[in-house]
Each structure stands twice: as structure tokens, then as C-alpha cells.
């Protein structure tokens, strides 16, 4: 299982990548896609000026096993969503850190980055789970 | 993925629309001998796509289809959390009696005294079993019972001046609980499960405040474990002015032995289609009676059966009631079946049912633990949850174990639920099974564990003995084919 060093992670099994333009991309981790199994349905939020708040559910991923909420990793505005994903949800299983990204956010509070986990800390968190 | 599942032609049955031929029929309709006395514009030119078959072809088609069914009437069905007990034939005999089956819901009370007495008596029996004061039989399913119960709790709080905002729900509760609380306008707050697999009193107490309307607790929980702290938890919930809703879906672990009312439950729903042997699956229909403590009786759905001078009648004068939750009086035919089951078992028999169900689950637990990973160590109640942790070392997962069980003639347990256990295999044998069946099931699982260690491809590619080989579940979910359509060649 891979957890790239250049990403930040949440205990809800999401990854966050800081982009050069100050926005962040987010998606679900390798652990999450493996635990969910074959993903069959993705429901994404809409691009909006309405701010979203950290930890609130804002997307849904459904696999053959279960339906799971995806939580806002960093408060801010949703500036872009991965429109391709609802039509080809299998990409989440195939490339969760690349083409399987979910949402782009413009963070409103960069201090929240402090609460994210490093790849190493996320790995330790996963090890404790199993 | 993407390959068609292997179909065994000898056992598969084509759709009835692909059988027969034009002009064939089961009965000969006499020639009217002249013009048909129907307006010509209403007459069909042809039979639009209807199958045309002889009577024996129709009979054989549906008989063969019925043989492809897997049910509790054909095989062991240890689907955890579902209580797939055997449904006695006596239930059907009673429900089919003309005095019950032929009733009209608008029949005058004085013509249906026996049916009203049955309703009243069943309410009393259920109240006795759960240790609460009053019962409504109206809700048509377990989840509707939950919603009814939550609406009663909301009505209680509103009568006290403030409806409150939140409902506490343990992570090991039934999946429908948060939905029921949400439908009733409450936010559901998850109470974590501790290392015992139980809800600790402190975990509930930490979340209690004046906005909490209720705790919705499933006891025993979906891990099949008895909530040992329930009395203290209920006391704390009551001290905060909130109520205890108990999901009674797992009453097959308590019936006739322990009463939720004595543990502090204020409101509870029964699932007659689980605990009381009424039909289950395929749409049921179900029944989810709700029991409440005495001071909540005024909120129950109306009308209610009342008795005066030896006569039963429907009472519609219920100003505090939350209102009807189901047309007429609930699924009456199901109530007759549950009544019959309780009458046949008797009080002692219902207690013995519970003891046998708990014994069966613990027997399987003892036979399988060590070979299958047991995430929680406490004694089981009516069901036991294992995981695929040991088998996964060779890449054999819960889904593979479940599929392979079908080859041995057993329905798979509930899998990947509860969600708090990774790779869960949730087994609920019920009291219906003989020792030989339980041993056969345990032997099958042990054989699959050996295969997982020695020849992991065998379970990974199972099943082999079913009419269809392993289905592509992903494709079935992403692009389901929900209706038959003619083959392209035939439409030309």
C-alpha cells in the first residue's frame, strides 16, 4: 500500500495535496479504496462560493460493500470537482492519487494544515488499525 | 472482470418470453361464431409481446424457477442480524382461516370481535415480553417501528416544551437507526465502541447534554454482544432528561429471559418477521410493533383497540397521538402468524427458543474460533461475528468465503457488516437448526479455511455448484439490467 510523501492525510483516510496556486486537491487514500473494494458510485459536491467546513460530509462513495461519506479535509470553497469520476468510478480504485482525485478546494484557514498527518504518521495510524 | 459468468445450461431457465411459439395457448377459447361485441378500436391486432405457451410448459417453467430459489425452507440460512428462523406451517394455516383471511377492514367492530381480541391480546403479550406498558401493532416494518418510536420520543419532548436536537447512536447499532433519527429531524451522533465491543457508560455520559433527545441502542448489539453497562447508561440518559430507545431487532436473544423495560428502555420496536417467525425477505410484509412505558401510551398511533364490558372496539379519540403510521390496523395477517407462533410456543417455549438460539451461536463460535479470527472475546448472544483476518494472509477474503459456502449448500452469513469490524462474517444460526446442521456448517467453514491455506484459488473462484458462477458485482451495480428486452434478431 502506498502513501506518497508529498501528500498530507486525514484520519478519515483522505489525502490532500497543496498546489502551487494555493489551492488543494483531495481524494481518498490507497487504504480507503482497498478497504471499500470495487467502487460503483461517486457523488460529488457542486462548485460553489458557499464555504464548506472541515469535517462536514460533502461527498459519497459507494462500493459493492458499503456506502461511505467523504469529509471536508480543509475548510474553504470548492473551486473544481472531478467531473469524469461519476461516469468512471473504477478510476478511484485504479489511480486514487492521480485521476481519481475528487475535489479542488481553496482553503480559507491555512492553520488547519497543522492538523493533517504526514505520510509517516498516517502509516502508523493505519498500522494501529489492523 | 468483464467476462460473462459461466452458465450451466442444464439448470438455468430461459425467461418465459423466450419460450413457446405464436398461437400456442393453455386453454382453447371458444370461437364466438360471429363479430365480437366489443368496439373495434378497443380490439388488439396482435398479442403485444405476451408469451404463448401450453399449460404444462408454464407449470414446468415456474416449478423449475422455484427450484433455483434458496430459502429457509430449503437450506440453512445463517444471515446475521436477520434472524432467518424457520416459519412454521401452523402460522400459515391460522392466517388462512376464512375468519381472518376474509376480513374487510371496514367491517363493523361487533362482527370482528375475535380479530380485535387477537390484536389486544398480542399487544399484551408483547408488552409482557419486553417489560413495557403498552404496544401498537400498526408499524409495517422494523424501520417504520423505529420511526414511530422516535416520533413518540419527539412528541414526549415537545410536550415537555423542547423537542431537543440530537440522538446518540452506538457504532454497533443497526444501520437503520441513524436514518430513523434523521427522518424525525434529529442529528445522529455516533457513540464509539470500546475494546470489549461494547458501549461504555462513560462514552455516553461524555456526549450527554440538554440537546440529546434519546439514546438509540441495539441490545444485544450487532456484534452479538450484550451491552453490559446498559443499566448505568440508561440511568445517565434519564438523568439528562433523555429517553432510551432500544432497537428490539435482536429480541431473539432476550425473549422470555430478560426484559428491556427492566434495563431502562422506554421505547422499543419488535420485528415480528425476525423474532416471531413471520415471513421474511422478498418484501415480507413485515411488522414492527412499538412498545412504550406507561406515560408515553397517549402518543401511540391511533386507532387503538379498547375493551369495555367484554366488547372490543376501535378507539379513535386520541388527541395526543402522533397519528396513523399505516393504513387500517397494520399488516393484520402477519399479526395472526406471530400470535399463532407465540400460542404454539407458550411462555416457557419462547424462553427455550431464546436459550437454544444463544446456545447455537456459541456452539458455532466454539467450533470455529482459533481457525477464524474473533475480533471480540466476550460470550456471544444470538449471533457471532468473525473476520477474514487469518484467511486474508493468502488473499482469501470474506467475499470468497461467503461464495464458497454456497457450494456446500449453505447460505452465506451477513458479510462486511457491522462496519466497525473489517471483513466481518456475521453468523446467526437461530434456534431452528439441528446439531447435525450446525456441525455441517462448521465443517464447511473449516474446510474452506483449509482450502484458503492450501489452495487459495479454490475459494477465490467459487462458487462452482450454483446455477451461475461468480457474478461481476461491480458491473451489476454500475450497469444493472433491470428488465427483459427482446433479442435484437427477434425485433427485426
pLDDT, one tens digit per residue, over B12-34 is 788 898 899 888 888 888 888 88
Number of domains composing chain B: 1
Assess if residue B3 is contained within a domain: no
* Nearest CB to B422; choose among A35, A38, A64: A35
pLDDT of B31: 82
In whole angstroms, what is the distance from residue B492 CA to residue B479 CA?
25
Does the beta-carbon distance from B477 to A89 stay under 8 Å? no
pLDDT of B2: 46
- The whole-angstrom distance between B475's CA and the closest CA on chain A is 8
Residue of B nearest to A130 (CA): B422
- Residue B491: pLDDT over 60: no
Residue of B nearest to A67 (CA): B419
Cell numbers describing residue A99: 485521476
Residues of A with CB below 8 A from B422's CB? 35, 129-130
Assess if residue B52 is contained within a domain: no
- Of A39, A40, A43, which to mutate for an interface test with B (greatest number of B Cβ within 10 Å)? A40
Does the beta-carbon distance from A40 to B474 stay under 8 Å? yes
Does the beta-carbon distance from B478 to A89 stay under 8 Å? yes
Q: How confident is the model at residue B194 (pLDDT cuts 50, 70, 90)?
A: very high
Residue of A nearest to B480 (CA): A40
In whole angstroms, what is the distance from residue B251 CA to residue A82 CA?
46
Residues of B with CB below 8 A from A65's CB? 415-416
Is B404 within 8 Å of B462 (Cβ atoms)? yes
Number of domains composing chain A: 1
Instruction: Determine the length of chain B.
Output: 492
Assess if residue A1 is contained within a domain: no
- Span B376-398, mean pLDDT? 95
- The whole-angstrom distance between A130's CA and the closest CA on chain B is 9
- Residue B1: pLDDT over 60: no
- Residue B47: pLDDT over 70: no
pLDDT higher at B181 or B34? B181
- Span B3-19, mean pLDDT? 72
In whole angstroms, what is the distance from residue A35 CA to residue B373 CA?
18
Assess if residue B130 is contained within a domain: yes
Does the beta-carbon distance from A89 to B419 stay under 8 Å? no
Chain B within 8 Å of A67 (Cβ-Cβ)?
A: no
Does the beta-carbon distance from A38 to B473 stay under 8 Å? yes
pLDDT of B8: 60
Does the beta-carbon distance from B478 to A41 stay under 8 Å? yes
Assess if residue B482 is contained within a domain: no
- Span B469-490, mean pLDDT? 80
Q: How confident is the model at residue B489 (pLDDT cuts 50, 70, 90)?
A: low
Residue A84: C-alpha distances to residues A41, A100, B96, B129, B436 (Å): 12, 9, 55, 55, 53
Assess if residue B428 is contained within a domain: yes
Chain segment B147-157, per-residue pLDDT in tens? 999 999 999 99
* CB neighbour class for B112 (10 Å; exposed up to 12, middle 13-18, buried from 19): buried
Assess if residue B44 is contained within a domain: no
Q: How confident is the model at residue A8 (pLDDT cuts 50, 70, 90)?
A: very high
* Nearest CB to B416; choose among A65, A90, A129: A65
- The whole-angstrom distance between A13's CA and the closest CA on chain B is 15
- Span A59-73, mean pLDDT? 92
Assess if residue B19 is contained within a domain: no
* Nearest CB to B474; choose among A64, A129, A130: A64
- The whole-angstrom distance between A40's CA and the closest CA on chain B is 6
The 10 Å Cβ neighbour count of residue B469 is 17
Chain B within 8 Å of A100 (Cβ-Cβ)?
A: no
CATH number assigned to the domain comprising residue B380:
3.40.640.10
Residues of A with CB below 8 A from B171's CB? none
Question: What ipTM describes this predicted complex?
Answer: 0.74
Tell me the average pLDDT of chain B.
Answer: 93
Give chain B's contact residues with A (Cβ, < 8 Å): 399, 415-417, 419, 422, 473-474, 477-478
A 1-20: CB under 8 A from B: none
How many beta-carbon pairs below 8 A join chains A and B? 22
Assess if residue A23 is contained within a domain: yes
- Span B462-491, mean pLDDT? 82
Share of chain B above pLDDT 70, in %: 96
- Residue B245: pLDDT over 80: yes
Residues of A with CB below 8 A from B478's CB? 40-41, 89
- Residue B282: pLDDT over 80: no
Chain segment B109-139, per-residue pLDDT in tens? 999 999 999 999 999 999 999 999 999 999 9
Residue B112: C-alpha distances to residues A6, B90, B309 (Å): 75, 22, 16
* Nearest CB to A40; choose among B399, B419, B478: B478
* Domain residue limits at B370: 69-466
- Of B390, B414, B416, B480, which to mutate for an interface test with A (greatest number of A Cβ within 10 Å)? B416
Of A92-101, B282-291, B420-429, least confident by mean pLDDT is: B282-291
pLDDT of B6: 61
- Span A30-39, mean pLDDT? 92
Residue of A nearest to B399 (CA): A65
Chain segment B223-234, per-residue pLDDT in tens? 999 999 999 999
- The whole-angstrom distance between B462's CA and the closest CA on chain A is 17
- Span A93-105, mean pLDDT? 96
pLDDT of B4: 54
Share of chain B above pLDDT 90, in %: 79
Chain B within 8 Å of A40 (Cβ-Cβ)?
A: yes
Residue of A nearest to B387 (CA): A130
Chain segment B48-102, per-residue pLDDT in tens? 778 899 999 999 999 999 888 888 888 999 999 999 999 999 999 999 999 999 9
Residue showing cell 451491552: B227
Residues of B with CB below 8 A from A62's CB? 477
The 10 Å Cβ neighbour count of residue B69 is 10
CATH number assigned to the domain comprising residue A19:
2.40.50.100
* Nearest CB to B474; choose among A35, A38, A66: A38
Q: What is the pTM of this model?
A: 0.87
In whole angstroms, what is the distance from residue B382 CA to residue B251 CA?
9
* Nearest CB to A64; choose among B417, B422, B473: B473
Does the beta-carbon distance from A41 to B419 stay under 8 Å? no
- Residue A130: pLDDT over 60: yes
Q: Which helix (H) or strand (E) element contains residue A9?
A: strand A8-9
pLDDT higher at B283 or B313? B313
- The whole-angstrom distance between A22's CA and the closest CA on chain B is 34
* Domain residue limits at A76: 8-129
Residues of B with CB below 8 A from A40's CB? 474, 477-478
Assess if residue B39 is contained within a domain: no
Chain segment B366-377, per-residue pLDDT in tens? 999 999 999 999
Residues of B with CB below 8 A from A37's CB? 399
Amino acid at each position: 500500500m502506498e502513501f506518497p510523501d508529498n501528500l498530507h492525510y486525514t484520519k478519515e483516510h483522505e489525502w490532500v495535496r497543496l498546489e502551487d496556486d494555493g489551492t488543494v486537491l483531495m481524494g481518498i487514500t490507497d487504504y480507503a479504496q482497498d478497504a471499500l473494494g470495487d467502487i460503483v458510485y461517486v457523488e460529488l459536491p457542486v462548485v460553489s462560493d458557499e464555504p464548506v467546513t472541515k469535517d462536514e460530509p460533502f461527498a459519497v462513495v459507494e462500493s459493492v460493500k458499503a456506502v461511505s461519506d467523504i469529509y471536508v479535509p480543509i475548510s474553504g470553497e470548492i473551486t473544481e470537482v472531478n467531473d469524469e469520476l461519476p461516469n468512471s468510478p473504477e478510476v478511484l480504485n485504479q489511480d486514487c492519487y492521480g485521476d481519481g482525485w475528487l475535489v479542488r478546494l481553496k482553503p480559507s484557514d491555512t492553520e488547519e494544515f497543522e492538523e493533517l498527518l504526514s505520510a509517516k504518521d498516517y502509516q502508523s495510524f493505519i498500522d494501529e488499525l489492523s | 472482470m468483464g467476462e460473462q459468468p459461466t452458465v450451466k445450461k442444464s439448470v438455468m431457465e430461459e425467461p418465459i418470453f423466450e419460450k413457446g411459439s405464436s398461437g400456442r395457448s393453455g386453454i382453447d377459447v371458444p370461437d364466438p361464431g360471429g363479430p365480437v361485441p366489443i368496439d373495434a378500436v378497443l380490439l388488439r391486432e396482435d398479442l403485444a409481446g405476451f408469451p404463448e405457451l401450453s399449460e404444462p410448459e408454464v407449470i414446468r417453467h415456474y416449478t423449475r424457477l422455484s427450484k433455483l430459489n434458496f430459502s429457509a425452507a430449503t437450506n440453512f440460512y445463517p444471515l446475521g442480524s436477520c434472524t432467518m428462523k424457520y416459519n412454521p406451517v401452523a402460522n400459515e394455516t391460522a392466517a388462512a382461516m376464512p375468519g381472518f383471511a376474509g376480513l374487510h377492514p371496514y367491517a363493523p367492530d361487533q362482527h370482528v370481535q375475535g380479530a380485535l381480541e387477537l390484536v389486544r391480546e398480542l399487544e399484551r403479550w408483547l408488552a409482557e415480553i419486553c417489560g413495557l406498558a403498552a404496544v401498537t401493532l400498526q408499524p409495517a416494518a422494523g424501520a417504520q417501528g423505529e420511526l414511530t418510536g422516535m416520533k413518540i420520543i419527539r412528541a414526549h419532548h415537545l410536550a415537555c416544551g423542547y423537542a431537543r436536537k440530537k440522538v446518540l447512536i452506538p457504532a454497533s447499532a443497526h444501520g437503520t437507526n441513524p436514518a430513523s433519527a434523521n427522518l424525525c429531524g434529529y442529528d445522529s451522533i455516533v457513540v464509539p465502541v470500546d475494546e470489549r465491543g461494547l458501549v461504555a457508560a462513560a462514552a455516553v455520559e461524555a456526549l450527554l447534554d440538554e440537546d440529546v433527545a434519546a439514546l438509540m441502542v441495539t441490545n444485544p448489539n450487532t456484534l452479538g454482544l450484550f451491552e453490559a453497562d446498559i443499566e448505568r447508561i440508561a440511568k445517565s440518559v434519564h438523568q439528562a432528561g433523555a429517553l432510551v430507545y432500544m432497537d428490539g431487532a435482536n429480541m431473539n436473544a432476550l425473549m422470555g429471559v430478560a426484559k428491556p423495560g427492566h434495563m431502562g428502555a422506554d421505547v422499543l420496536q419488535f420485528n415480528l418477521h425476525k423474532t416471531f417467525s413471520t415471513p421474511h425477505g422478498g418484501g415480507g410484509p413485515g411488522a414492527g410493533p412499538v412498545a412504550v412505558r406507561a406515560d408515553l401510551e397517549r402518543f401511540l398511533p391511533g386507532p387503538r383497540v379498547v375493551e369495555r364490558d367484554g366488547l372490543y372496539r376501535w378507539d379513535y379519540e386520541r388527541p395526543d397521538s402522533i397519528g396513523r403510521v399505516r393504513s387500517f390496523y397494520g399488516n393484520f395477517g402477519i399479526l395472526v402468524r406471530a400470535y399463532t407462533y407465540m400460542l404454539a410456543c407458550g411462555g416457557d417455549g419462547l424462553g427455550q427458543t431464546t436459550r437454544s438460539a444463544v446456545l447455537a451461536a456459541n456452539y458455532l463460535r466454539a467450533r470455529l474460533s482459533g481457525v477464524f479470527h474473533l475480533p471480540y472475546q466476550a460470550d456471544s448472544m444470538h449471533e457471532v461475528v468473525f473476520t477474514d483476518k487469518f484467511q486474508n494472509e493468502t488473499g482469501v477474503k470474506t467475499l470468497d468465503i461467503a461464495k464458497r459456502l454456497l457450494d456446500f449448500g449453505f447460505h452465506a452469513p451477513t458479510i462486511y457488516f457491522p462496519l466497525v469490524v473489517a471483513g466481518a462474517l456475521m453468523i446467526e444460526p437461530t434456534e431452528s437448526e439441528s446439531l447435525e446442521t450446525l456441525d455441517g456448517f462448521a465443517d464447511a467453514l473449516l474446510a474452506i479455511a483449509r482450502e484458503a491455506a492450501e489452495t487459495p484459488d479454490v475459494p477465490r473462484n467459487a462458487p462452482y455448484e450454483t446455477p451461475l458462477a461468480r457474478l461481476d458485482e461491480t458491473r451489476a451495480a454500475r450497469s444493472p439490467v433491470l428488465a427483459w428486452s427482446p433479442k435484437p434478431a427477434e425485433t427485426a
